Every structure is written in structure tokens, then in C-alpha cells.
A = this chain, B = another copy of it.
Amino acid sequence: MMEFKRLIPYREALRLLLDDLSELNEIEELPLSEALGRVLAEDIVSPIDSPPFDRSAVDGYALRAEDTFHAREYSPVELKVVDEIVAGEESKARVEPGTVVKLMTGSKMPVGANAVLMQEMAEREGDIIRVLRPVAPGQNVAFAGEDVKKGEIILRKGQVLRPQDLALLKSIGFRTVKVKRKPRVGIIVTGDELIEEFDEDALKAGKILESNSVMLKGLVRQYFGEPVFYGVLPDDEEAIRDAIDRAKNENDLVLVTGGSAFGDKDFAHRFVRLMFHGTTIKPGRPIGYGERVFIMSGYPVAVFAQFHLYVKHALAKLVGAKNYEVRVKATLTERISSQLGRREFVKVWYENGRARPIKKKGSGIISSLVESNGYIEIPEDSEGYLEGETVEVVLY
């Protein structure tokens, strides 16, 4: 019963471990097309105005807005086309009163023009266009620096790079980008009860097919890491200690499953100087952390909760990631109750603005994870939420 005396509040444990970890210094410089999903290692300052000049936002006719102020459908204004250019070309013509230049979306505005009439709004005959309505100054013009201004911070350190971020970098002249190195995460799975190959007799005799390794590898990859698997170990004190020592040396973080409880054979926690062992979360209470090692549960559902409540945030800290969670508001479809003093990790199915709690309980019931797509955290001071209440769901 010793864990009950040591339970420390969720947030305190989280603060302890995040304070214990430092952001990685190592940076990789990657070609833009290899940087998807990686974490930006520095603020990006634009070296240029983009666009670098006033340009047309549509295909049409660059003109002087004041020439069109009297244009009416019953009394069109006629203007003369003095030049026509295609994309990437620049008109050398000057737009004098009574004249226009035909250009394309993105074309540089010719000297003298201050607005663009959309192509389909003009009636054209030969080199004359008829304008039926006034055009306002600045209409359909994209001004220099409207996208990004020279010297402006356009992406911040910690941004998880998306396709559009890479496009913005490319559009201002970048060909490579500096991102954080991926943290290496050692994974050690322990337990005499575990088997790796299907064996009906062994299963009937009480053995269990090991599934934490593939789950943790996937979770580590989802949250910026590079998993390194050290295998499934029996409850052998020496083997576990050696593996933990080796993994600590070779990785930025180590995850050990099994051995977090206080049974006679749960000794993984003895080989690490733990900052805490046992927190107020449910499931997953007996989690321990120290020396960059997490001693986690052996039960998949508890491991999953421990990962999302603790390990995910540790990985984000290592790379300095900011936008790594999707939190949405939802209406709860039915009441959920929770024990005071426990932070409950409640699996839900989020759809269409509603969150439905998954009824299946039990820390070995992996199908409850499969049937969910997010979770709610019920804090320690709450007895739960009512049907119809608005809750925050973290999607996974």
C-alpha cells in the first residue's frame, strides 16, 4: 500500500519532469521537402517583401481608377489597351489617362496604374475596352509586402511544419530549413507473462501477447521521436538493469513498461533514482520518472494514458514543439463520474461536436482505445461532468 502515501498530484509530477528535461540543442538542416512534420528550430525572418512589388490580384486591365469614376452601364467609359503581358513579364508601358495594360494575376503593376479591372467585367473590341462601373483605387491590387514584409517573423521556433509552412519558406527564397533533431526514445518491455508469437496453449495458460512495444513505437513517432526497441525482457533483475543502463546511455528518453507497480517482481523502478513514483492519474497511477526514464505500467490502456498525460509533453519539451495537440470543445452525450483526488483519463468518441464516453473499462481492454478518437481529462477536484456539459477533448 505504499503507493498511496506517495501519490503526488498530476500537475506537480508533470512540472517536475518537464523541469528536469532540457530542450535538445542539436539541429538538422533539411531540404524543405524532407521537413514535413519536423519542428522548426529557429524563428524565420523574411529577407524580402513578398510580393516584392505591387501586383495584380486578378487577370484583367491595369488602369487609373479616376478614369472610371463616371462609368455607368448606360454610359460606359472607353479606354485603350496599350500593352498586353503574360505571367512573369513586366510591361514597360506607362498607363497614361485613357489607357490600360492587359495583365495577369501576379503581374507587376505598370507605372501610372492604381487599380485593376477584372477581365470578365470589361467588354473588349479590338484594342478598346468598355468599362461599365467605376473601379476603386487599389481594387484588385496586391500591394508590396502584403503577404510578408521584409524583417517580419513569419514562422516561429517550435512550429510543427505543415505543407503550407514549407511553401511560405520556399516563396521567400529558402531551400532548406533548420529543424530539431528527433529525440531517440528507448523502449524496454518487461514481464514474464508476455509472449511475442501466437501460441494458443500459452495463452490458455495465462500468458499474454505483448502489444506495448508496437503501440509505443507508433506513439513516439507521432510525437517527434525516433523509437529504439530493446526487446521484451523477462522479470530478471540483472537483465532489466543492464537494459535500462544501456538505453539511458543511447537515448534522450527511455520508456520501460511493466515493473511500475509494487509487486515483488516489479523492480524496474529500483534501478532509477525516481523523482516521483505514483501520481493521481487513473488509469496509470503507479508511473515513475527520474533520470530521463519513465517506469510505466504493463497494461496497454494505462500505458496509453501515461503516454498522453506525461510522455507526449516530455517529447514536446525536448524539441520545443508548440502546436502538437488538437483540443476541441464538445458536448458530452452522457454523464461521467470520477473519484475526487484522481485525474481521470476518459476515452471518448468525438464526432459532430459531441463526445461519447467509451464504456469499456479495464486497463487491458485495448479495444476501448480502438473505439475512441480522443480523451477528456477530469481533474482531481471534480466529481465528473453532466450530460450536455461542454468539455474539452484532446483528439488522437
Contacts and interface: CB of A to CB of B under 8 A. Distances in A.
Interface stretch (A61-69, A73-81, A168-176, A271-279): A168-176
Nearest to A154: B367
A15 to B, nearest CB: 23
Contact of A206 (B59, B89, B323, B390): B89
Interface string A51-95: 111010101000000000000000000000000001111100000
A171 B206 CA distance: 13
Interface string A4-39: 100000000000000000000000000011001000
Question: What is the oligomeric copy number?
Answer: 2
Nearest to A361: B57
A365 B206 contact: no
A194 interface: yes
Q: Range of interface residues on chain A? A: 35 or more
Nearest to A191: B87
Interface stretch (A103-111, A178-186, A244-252, A288-296): A103-111
B194 A163 contact: no
A200 B162 contact: no
A263 B170 contact: no
A261 interface: yes
A130 interface: no
Contact of A36 (B88, B221, B300): B221
Contact of A163 (B87, B147, B173, B222): B222
Given A304-B164, A326-B395, A396-B162, A171 B366 contact: yes
A51 to B, nearest CB: 7
Interface stretch (A207-215, A337-345, A376-384): A207-215
Contacts of A162: 218, 396
A192 interface: yes
A287 interface: no
Given A147-B367, A163-B219, 5 more contacts: A36-B218, A86-B235, A86-B265, A89-B206, A167-B212
9 contacts: A33-B214, A108-B206, A146-B362, A154-B370, A167-B214, A168-B366, A168-B367, A171-B300, A329-B352
CB-CB nearest 7 A-B residue pairs:
A88-B193, A163-B218, A329-B353, A173-B198, A164-B369, A167-B215, A170-B211
